[in-house]
C-alpha cells in the first residue's frame, strides 16, 4: 500500500469473512461495514479507513456492494469513494448514509458518476450535501444512464435542487426509485412528475399543500407518498380525484396530514369501490355515530426506514414493510 495505515481489528475480521466466502466460490458479495451493527463491538470507519477499503475493492471482481452506513468517512472518504467509482467497474451498490459528508463531498461523488456505467444503487441519506450538492446530483442524472435508485433523503436539499430533480426526471429513462424526503422547502405547492419514477417520497417536509395535481399526460408515478406533509383537505381530496381519472396510480399514502370530513369520505369511497385496495394505502376507514374516520395501518412504504438493523434478513417483512409492498430489491 502507498500509505502506512493499520487496519482496524473489526475491519480485518470482516475482510477475513469475505475471504472465506470467496473461497467457497461465492460472487456478488456485499462488504458490510455498517457502523450501527450492535452484534459486535465496532469502531466507526474514518476517511482514512475508507481508503483501505477502496484499495481492497479496486481490483476485486467478487465484491459488487459496499455498505458503510453510520460511519465517519466525511468529505475525505467521499473523495476516495469518488475515485473508487471512477476505477472500479464491478460495484453496483454503495451505501454511504449518515457519514458526515458535506456539499464538497457530494459534488465529488456526483461528478464521478458522470462516467460511471455500473453503479445501480446509491444511498446518500442523512449527509448534509445541501442545495449545492443536490444540484450536482441532479446534473449527474442528465448524463448517467445506469443509476436506477438514488436516495438523497434528509440531505437538507433546497427548493432549487428539488425542482432540478423534478425537471431532469422527465428526461431520465433509467431511474426507478428516488428518495427526496425532508428537503428544506417553503413553497405552497409541490408537483413532481416522471415517466419512469416508481416511488416518490417527499415525507416530513412541513410543506403546506393547498392543491395536489397528478396529471395524466406525462406518466405519473404508480406509488405516491405524501406522509406527514401537513396537507389540508382540499389537496388530499384532489389527490383522491386523480385516482379516479388516472389508472396508473395504484398506491397512495397520506397519513400524518389534516383530514377533514370531505377527505375521510373521499378515501373511504375509493377503498369501498375497489379503486384503492386496502393493502395499497396506510389508512383504513371506520364509522362512528354516522361519521367516517380514518385509522392508520402499517402499510406505508419503508415504514422502518431509518431503524432497520444492518444485520439479519434485509427483506424480512418484520424489518421493513416496504419490501413486501414494492419488491424493488433489498438495497434501496
Q: Which of 180, 186, 242 is nearest to 209 (CA)?
A: 186
Grid coordinates of 29: 458479495
Per domain, the residue ranges of the chain are: 28-185+218-296
Residues 6+ apart with CB under 8 A from 204: 181, 182, 227, 228, 229, 256
CA angle 270, 324, 207 (to 5 degrees): 55
Q: How many CB atoms lie within 10 A of CB 213?
A: 14
Q: Which of 264, 296, 273 is nearest to 283 (CA)?
A: 296
> Strands 283-288 and 291-296, how do they pair?
antiparallel
The pLDDT of residue 214: 42
Cell 438493523 maps to which residue? 309
The pLDDT of residue 135: 97
The pLDDT of residue 85: 95
> Strands 251-253 and 283-288, how do they pair?
unpaired
Helices (H), the chain: 9-23, 47-57, 74-87, 103-112, 130-143, 159-168, 233-245, 261-272, 321-325
The pLDDT of residue 302: 58
Q: How many CB atoms lie within 10 A of CB 59?
A: 10
The answer to whether residues 170 and 149 touch, using CB atoms and an 8 Å cutoff, is: no
Cα torsion angle, 194, 141, 324, 317, sign: negative
The pLDDT of residue 182: 81
Q: Which of 77, 133, 134, 119 is nearest to 100 (CA)?
A: 77
Cell 474514518 maps to which residue? 46
Residues 6+ apart with CB under 8 A from 307: none
Residues 6+ apart with CB under 8 A from 289: none
Residue 67 vs residues 53, 90, 235, 332: alpha-carbon distances, Å = 11, 15, 39, 12
The dihedral formed by the CA atoms of 314, 121, 135 and 36, expressed in degrees to the nearest 10: 30
> pLDDT in tens for each of the 332 residues of the chain?
445 567 778 888 888 888 888 888 888 889 988 888 766 667 889 999 999 889 888 888 899 999 999 999 999 999 999 999 998 889 999 999 999 999 999 999 999 999 999 999 999 999 999 999 999 999 999 999 999 999 998 999 988 898 899 888 888 888 888 888 888 765 444 444 433 444 455 544 444 333 333 443 344 567 777 777 778 888 888 888 888 887 888 888 888 888 999 999 999 999 999 999 998 899 999 999 999 999 998 776 655 555 455 555 544 554 444 444 444 444 44
The domain made up of 28-185+218-296 is a member of CATH 3.80.10.10:
yes
CA angle 182, 112, 149 (to 5 degrees): 45
> Strands 63-67 and 223-225, how do they pair?
unpaired
- Residue 139: how many CA atoms within 13 Å on its side-chain side? 15
The pLDDT of residue 163: 85
End-to-end CA distance of the chain: 33
Amino acid at each position: 500500500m502507498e500509505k502506512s495505515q493499520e487496519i482496524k481489528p473489526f475491519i480485518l475480521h470482516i475482510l477475513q469473512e469475505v475471504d472465506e466466502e470467496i473461497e467457497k466460490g461465492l460472487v456478488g458479495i456485499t462488504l458490510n461495514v455498517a457502523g450501527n451493527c450492535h452484534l459486535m463491538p465496532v469502531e466507526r470507519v474514518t476517511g482514512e479507513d475508507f481508503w483501505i477499503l477502496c484499495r481492497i475493492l479496486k481490483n476485486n471482481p467478487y465484491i459488487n456492494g459496499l455498505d458503510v452506513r453510520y460511519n465517519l468517512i466525511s468529505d475525505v472518504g467521499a473523495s476516495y469513494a469518488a475515485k473508487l467509482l471512477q476505477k472500479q467497474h464491478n460495484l453496483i451498490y454503495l451505501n454511504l448514509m449518515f457519514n458526515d459528508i458535506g456539499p464538497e463531498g457530494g459534488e465529488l461523488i456526483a461528478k464521478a458518476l458522470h462516467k460511471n456505467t455500473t453503479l445501480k444503487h446509491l444511498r446518500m441519506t442523512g449527509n448534509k450535501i445541501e442545495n449545492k450538492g443536490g444540484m450536482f446530483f441532479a446534473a449527474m442524472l442528465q448524463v448517467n444512464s445506469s443509476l436506477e435508485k438514488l436516495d438523497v433523503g434528509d440531505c437538507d436539499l433546497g427548493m432549487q435542487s428539488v425542482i432540478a430533480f423534478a425537471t431532469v426526471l422527465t428526461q431520465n429513462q433509467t431511474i426507478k426509485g428516488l428518495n427526496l424526503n425532508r428537503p428544506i422547502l417553503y413553497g405552497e405547492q409541490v408537483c413532481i412528475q416522471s415517466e419512469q419514477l416508481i416511488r416518490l417520497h417527499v415525507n416530513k417536509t412541513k410543506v403546506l399543500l393547498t392543491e395536489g395535481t397528478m396529471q395524466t399526460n406525462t406518466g405519473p408515478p404508480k406509488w405516491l407518498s405524501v406522509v406527514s406533509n401537513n396537507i389540508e383537505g382540499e389537496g388530499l381530496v384532489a389527490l383522491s380525484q386523480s385516482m379516479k381519472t388516472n389508472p396508473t396510480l395504484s398506491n397512495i399514502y397520506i397519513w400524518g396530514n389534516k383530514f377533514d370530513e370531505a377527505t375521510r369520505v373521499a378515501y373511504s369511497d375509493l377503498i369501498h369501490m375497489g379503486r384503492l385496495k386496502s393493502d395499497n394505502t396506510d389508512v383504513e376507514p371506520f364509522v362512528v355515530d354516522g361519521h367516517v374516520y380514518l385509522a392508520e395501518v402499517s402499510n406505508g412504504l419503508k415504514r422502518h426506514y431509518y431503524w432497520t438493523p444492518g444485520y439479519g434478513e434485509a427483506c424480512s417483512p418484520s424489518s421493513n414493510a416496504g419490501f413486501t409492498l414494492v419488491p424493488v430489491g433489498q438495497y434501496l
